Structure formats: structure tokens, C-alpha cells
Amino acid sequence: MSSKDAANEGAPLRRGLLFVVSAPSGTGKTTVVERLVQRVEELALSRSYTSRATRPGESDGVDYNFITRARFEQMVAANEFLEWADVFGNLYGTGASDVERQLARGCDIVLVIDVQGARQVRLRYANTVGVFVLPPSFEVLEQRLRGRSKDPEEAMQRRLRMARNEVAAFAEYDYVIVNDELEACVERLRAIVLGERARLRSVRREAELIVESFIEKAPR
């Protein structure tokens, strides 16, 4: 019986796994994770809340839940975030009840959040699986950022400074992958998810049920 079948019967065989992916801006983490969730069953990408303005091509309820700063602050005061952080002067946060509901249903979730947010999540959920995505080098990151953005030089300098602080946190994570080539990076991340799903702590209940059926049915 898969965890999905069990969930259909009411109680999942295990709680969902919580994956946290962090990387400096420009590493390509969003594309990597979007491909990952298309490729792996029963893995959902958590949609964050943010006070920042939508960028061209983005829409509310798809890329983020876009809310006002005042609404964000109300949610902070009401303790509605699992974690939140100020990134580049905008507020970003993960809805606590959204995540808890999915984990309780046995659904695995990926959060794509910054280093500060990842630290808060680890404090709340000890079993968080952290993955840090590194760009191959400083030069490659700078090239990617300059290629995709029309930010003024000052904003670019701020992003690069921030990247320097973020990469230094890699050792706080369980896994580190280098995004040298998009497809290879997606596959490494997929391998991590599948590996974590096969760990004893993830499969113990399902395995116990199988073993119980042997105890009941197999000859002594």
C-alpha cells in the first residue's frame, strides 16, 4: 500500500517530508525546483507570501501570494508564518497552516526560501531536509545576474554582496549540489528526494505493516 492509498483511507502511513532548498539569487533554483516537482509524484512546491510587487510575467496565486506589507505584518502578528524574512527590503514568508496541512496528509513539500528562513524552519521541524544549491563560481553567478536583470548597478552590487553572505551558509544544509548544468542539477535533487523517501524513518510504518502480514500469514 502506498502512502497515497493509506491517505485515501484516512490516515497516511507517514507524515510528509519537508525539503528546504536555498541558493543565492541567480543560481537558477526556481527553475530547478519547478522541474523537480513536475518529475516527482506527490511532491508539492509551497507557494510563499510576499510583500514585493509582481514582476512582468508573474501572477498572484501562481508565483507567490502577493499581499500588501500591512497584510504581511498582520499575518506576522497573528503567528501565521512558519518562517519569514526580509530579503532585499521585501518581506517573504511561508504559511504555517498550508505546510502543516500538507505534511499531515503525507504529502512531501519543498520550500524555496532564503538562508534566514531555512534556519527558522529547522528550529520548528527537526527532520527538515536541507539542500543548498551553489553556482559553479562567482563569475558564473555574476554573469547570470547581469544577463537576466536590468537592475541598476547599486542593486546588482547588493545582490552580489548578499550572495557572498549566503554561500557561506552551505554547511548548515544536509546536501549541497552545484548547478553547473540544469538537467544534471534537477536529477541530483530528484535523487535526494527519492533517497530520503527510502530512509528507515520514512518507510518504517509501511515496512512494519508488510512484516506484520508475514507474521500473520507465512508458515512458522
- Cβ 95 to ligand 5GP, closest distance in Å? 9
Cα dihedral sign, 34-194-13-100: negative
Among 113, 141, 185, 193, binds ligand 5GP (CB under 6 A): 113
Q: Which helix (H) or strand (E) holds 131?
A: strand 129-134
Binding of residue 25 to ligand 5GP (CB under 6 A): yes
Binding-residue pattern over the window 43 to 82 for ligand 5GP, x denoting contact by CB under 6 A: -----x---x------------------------------
**Nearest-approach distance from CB 131 to ligand 5GP, in angstroms:** 12
Does position 112 interact with ligand 5GP (CB under 6 A)? The reply is: yes
- Residues 6 or more apart whose CB falls under 8 angstroms from that of 178 comprise 133, 134, 135, 136, 185
**DSSP class of 64:** B
CB 20 within 8 A of CB 121: yes
**Positions in 78-107 near ligand 5GP (CB under 6 A):** 83, 85, 87, 92-94
CB of 126 to ligand 5GP, least distance (A): 19
**Options 99-107, 114-122, 138-146, 179-187: segment touching ligand 5GP (CB under 6 A):** 114-122
In the complex, least distance from residue 153 CB atom to ligand 5GP, rounded to whole angstroms: 18
- The answer to whether 182 touches 135, Cβ cutoff 8 Å, is no
Task: Spell out the residues 6+ positions from residue 122 whose beta carbon is closer than 8 angstroms to its own.
Answer: 20, 128, 130, 172
Which span (98-106, 111-119, 125-133, 143-151) binds ligand 5GP, by CB under 6 A? Answer: 111-119
Taking the complex as a whole, the smallest distance from the CB of residue 5 to ligand 5GP amounts, in Å, to 32
By DSSP bridging, strand 65-66 and strand 81-87 are: unpaired
CA distance readout (Å), 40 to 93, 94, 118, 144: 24, 22, 22, 27
Residues in contact with ligand 5GP by the rule CB under 6 A: 25, 48, 52, 83, 85, 87, 92-94, 112-114, 116-117
